[in-house]
Structure 1
Amino acid sequence: MAAIGPAGSLDDRPDAAKAETVDADGRWLIPGLWDCHTHFTQWSATFGRLDLLAARSASEAMAMLRAYLDERRKAGTLSPDVFVVGMRFRHSLWSDAEQPTLAAIDEASGEQPVALSSADMHCGWVNSAAARRLGVHVDASGLVSELEWFDAYCKLDNAPGAAEESLRLLRRAEEDAASKGVVGIRDYEMAENIDSWTRRFALGIDRLRVDAGVYPERLQAAIDAGWRTGCELPGSHGLGRVGAMKLISDGSLNTRSAYCSTPYSGIEPPTRGVLSYAPAQIEDYMRLATEHGFDIACHAIGDEANTVVLNAAAATGAHGSIEHAQMLKPVDIPRFAELGLTASIQPQHAMDDRDVIARFWAHPAGIPYPFRALHDAGARLRMGSDAPVAPLDPWLAISAAVFGTESSDREPFQPEQCLDVRTALAASTAVGRDRLAPGDSADLVLLDRDPYAVRTPEEMRAMPRSVAATMVAGRWTHRTF
């Protein structure tokens, strides 16, 4: 069936005779889970690219790179014409003496073009060979940042052999998501997402509902083509829709580029971060989107960036979400509900960033990760991962939001901002509830364990092992019984 109803209420539907009766055998039933902020192509790439998340220094990262290159050479899969791509290095926690350098990556890689993306995707570490091919300038650090890196990184997907490999990894990623109870994603990949997902649905990549975001530079073309938020993607059988206009207003905490009202601590020369667009440009893009039927999904991390985008939304009547909302001035917290804007949060980022916050946001003018404050002020919360920045796994987000720590051995980060399980679970669904209701789409998850009885972060993070089945639009996308 494609919808939820009381027993017997759907018996007169035309497809009732084909319905399967399933004995759930005492399992727990919840609405299907959504990841409301992903970069799905880049997340799928983590199933096949060098992952540097465990590196604790530039030296360790280069040792991992050398080992990876040696392994590829021995396997005969290394071509001088194809980029070697690595992901998720976190240099914000490395010592000053162990930061990226061009000399180090050139020494480790030679003429093999290598491009490594930071965990937050706001900068890349490239060698000289890759810099020449990507057409970017690198200084002694080997780092490329913000918009220049976004443009360069997109070029990596057009390299020889990338299309076939991407398709294989996309299938793995959607299977993995379904196994965790995920029924839908909002995809903010920096690409022609409408075209990309139309092609993917035609190729049978159809285990997830997808809202395909549109970036500002592509907005006018989407408007001219007749698209608006909510339009069904051709050939998706109702699973794919046009999503919101995704605008990145500022940088990130880890690259010290999130736009703040006070300077970062311990940084010389002093910096407050940067805006990616002038406030007037942000307002113009929001107005264009709103006048042509597009929601907004506006990335804002620093407290001053959040003020700027909230002001722009108020001036234009924009509707949609503020993505991340990582640090907010107390005066801005009630404005989310007042303006009808959703706070799209990624609780696992708080776990990843708690030590970085102590280092670079030691004296913030706002409140970092104010989950409970937003909820108490009446804001609608929606949760996601920002994968690949954090793993595409709603149970990690729920655990982080509820327990405020990844380990029972470590005290919670800002326990006053933690959420209860029902609120966190509801924020991880499309319906905004933790219970199914008659008339809901048949997007559901069967669990072998009661999620409300979980008492530790370790147990909540292990919940994917308790996902017995996942259904999307009445079709099983994952099932263990």
Structure 2
Amino acid sequence: MSSLVRIVNAGIPGSRTRADIVLRDGVVAGVHPAGEDIVGKAMPDATTIDADGLWVIPGLWDCHTHFTQWAKTLGRLDLISARSASEAMSMLRAHLDERCASGTLDPNVFVVGMRFRHSLWADDEQPTLAAIDAVTGEQPVALSSADMHCGWVNSAAARRLGVHVDEHTGLVGELEWFDAYTQFDKAPGAAEETDRLLREAERDAVSKGVVGIRDYEMAENIDTWIDRFAAGINTLRVDAGVYPERLQNVIDAGWHTGKALPGSNGLGRVGAMKLISDGSLNTRSAYCSSPYSGIEPPTYGTLSYTPQQIEDYMRLATEHGFDIACHAIGDEANTIVLDAAAATHAHGSIEHAQMLKPIDIPRFAQLGLTASIQPQHAMDDRDVITRFWANPAGIPYPFRSLYDAGAQLRMGSDAPVAPLDPWLAISAAVFGTESSDREPFQPEQCLPVEVALGASTAVGRDRLEAGDPADIVLLDADPYAAAAPEVMRAMPAHVAMTFVAGKRVY
């Protein structure tokens, strides 16, 4: 039996227009001026929702997440508000005391913390091994930086992880940290905790109007999501990314971008090949054409792969039906990955594109590549930019420049680096600031609201059309009427209903 939902008298954001929308079998079957839905009216078995006083938009996507790690922030120590190493250690000490008092502290299980931002801390308030050892003793503790590109671990954790830890700072470098981080999932009780937090993260996402994610977790994402759908973690659409080192095995197994995941009822698909070409701004490892300011000896950042390796992986992906999703933050890294995409005719996205040489900005549209941006990072990094990119050879966070040059934009969070919340990204892109009390960062790079909203959807626009997936959101406030960042950032509270494939999930 076909499923039919009629949503009548829904407002169109930014206008006085109201519409009737017909959802049939997971697709938007029609969008009509209010009162003119003749077909829907003639079907008595339709579920009808009166949307008077509500506004309708396409469902929102977060186009760059590490979903498992984001889910775990809902149950781990969050250090994002720490303004110094000593403040972070005070928060850690309180967390350990609370765990000890509740009987949940196990000396054989890692205590994991998330999102410390040492790039914003004073020079005399940086991480040290001595400080974390003094607070933790023999309890293994591992803290992940906000951008997930380094870890701050105590000696007990370093021994158990088998990692090299700087004897002064207690920091573990990004490539070694990427591998070490996966070990926390093997701890006793970790699987049960992860399952609970994933379900909580899905509920949180749909409550904000999110209908889909691109998941670039550093894991066997295809198998992982097949298992999750089978276990009933099946509310969101998911594009499951693949990392280069696993690409050949995935190709041999017959997968390609867009192929449906079995058991997902059409909600799960194989995503793009995710390749990390360079580091990050906060760890001063994004690969740039000019040296970082205030750093001795001078450093330009690092590449994670050679240019030839990047080109080889792109060619392998493209020849076997895979899109690319290539992380590039520094301006020189962006030049290298754009060159590789041109040489291989790769299709897909450049992830982050945080600093671009002016000559490279038009190349996105010329090559047909999407710029997958995370506007909240600009809010988080604006002070770091002035500290470490004081004399950039490129333009940092060139959102409007990319749009004006014809590039297709897609927006996301890079959760857990920023919260999985498209409204934060939309607000940051539109207003260029988190607070009305602070001037916009690079106001010339701000985007029109309809562009930012459209870039947060799968369809790339702010309004529904017939033939779209029946992924929609009803709001009790018009987002186009948000005149301040605080108002736009509060939009999750105005999500009235969320539909995925025509099914009401919130």
* TM band (smaller chain): over 0.9
Residues of 2 paired with 1:227 and 1:404: CA distance? Answer: 40
2:187 aligned residue: 159
Letter in 1 for 2:452: A
Which amino acid in the other structure matches residue 274 of structure 2? K
Residues 1:5 and 2:35 aligned together: no
Q: Which residue of 1 aligns with 2:221?
A: 193
Q: CA deviation at 1:8?
A: 4.4
2-side partners of 1:219 and 1:9: how far apart? 47
Name the counterpart of 2:21. Answer: none
Report what 1:75 is aligned to. Answer: 102
Pair 274,23 (structure 1): closer, same or farther in 2 beyond 3 Å: same
Separation (CA, whole Å) in 2 of partners of 1:94 and 1:261: 25
Superposed, 1:365-384 pairs within 5 Å as 365-384=393-412
**Structure 1's 10 and 240: CA in aligned 2 closer, same or farther, altered over 3 A?**
farther
Q: Distance in 1 between matches of 2:248 and 2:41?
A: 46
Paired residue secondary structure (1:156): helix
Per-residue deviation, residues 123-160 of structure 1 (Å, max 9, x unmatched): 00011111111110112211112111100001111211
Structure 2: distance between partners of 1:43 and 1:17:
43
Partner residue in 1 for 2:295: 267
- How is 1:247-396 mapped onto 2 (pairs within 5 angstroms)? 247-396=275-424
Aligned position for 2:112: 85
Residues 45-76 of structure 1 show CA distances to partners (whole Å, capped at 9, x for unaligned) of: 01100000011111011111111011001111
Q: Where does residue 179 of structure 1 map in the other structure?
A: 207
Counterpart for residue 37 of structure 1: 64
- 1:58 aligns with 85
Residue 130 of structure 1 is matched in structure 2 by: 157
Structure 2 partner of 1:450: 478
Which whole-Å deviations, capped at 9, do the CAs of 1:277-324 have from their partners, x for residues lacking one? 000000000000001000000000000000000000000010000000
Report the Cα offset of residue 18 of structure 1.
Answer: 5.0
1: CA distance between counterparts of 2:71 and 2:98? Answer: 21
Q: Distance in 2 between matches of 1:97 and 1:260?
A: 26
Q: CA deviation at 1:206?
A: 1.1
Structure 1 CA distance for aligned equivalents of residues 44 and 251 of structure 2: 43
1:170 aligns with 2:194: no
SS of structure 1 residue aligned to 2:505: strand
Equivalent residue number for residue 259 of structure 2: 231
CA distance 1:10–1:158, change in 2 (3 Å): farther
Q: Which amino acid aligns with 1:61?
A: A
- SS of the residue 2:241 aligns to: strand
Stretches of structure 1 lacking an aligned partner (at least 5 in a row): none
Residue 26 (structure 1) shift:
2.6
Report if the CA contact (8 A) 2:40-2:46 is conserved.
Answer: no
How far apart, CA to CA, are the structure 1 residues paired with 2:446 and 2:190?
Answer: 41
> How many angstroms does 1:439 deviate by?
1.0
CA distance in 1 between counterparts of 2:46 and 2:318 reads: 42
Equivalent pairs, count: 475
RMSD: 1.0
SS in structure 2 of the partner of residue 4 of structure 1: strand
Post-superposition Cα deviations, 1:367-417, rounded to whole Å, max 9, x if no partner, equal: 000000000000000000000000000000000000000000110000000
Q: Aligned partner of 1:127: which letter? A: N
Runs of 4+ in 1 over 3 A off after TM superposition: 8-12, 16-19
Do the aligned partners of residues 20 and 330 (structure 1) sit closer, same or farther apart at CA in structure 2, a change above 3 Å counting?
same
The alpha carbon displacement at 1:10 in A equals 6.2
Q: Report the equivalent of 1:468.
A: 496
SS at match of 1:64: helix
Instruction: Pick which of 268-277 and 17-26 moved more.
Output: 17-26
Structure 2 unaligned residues grouped into runs of 5+: 1-23, 31-36
Q: Aligned residue for 2:121?
A: 94
> 1:9 Cα deviation (Å)?
4.4
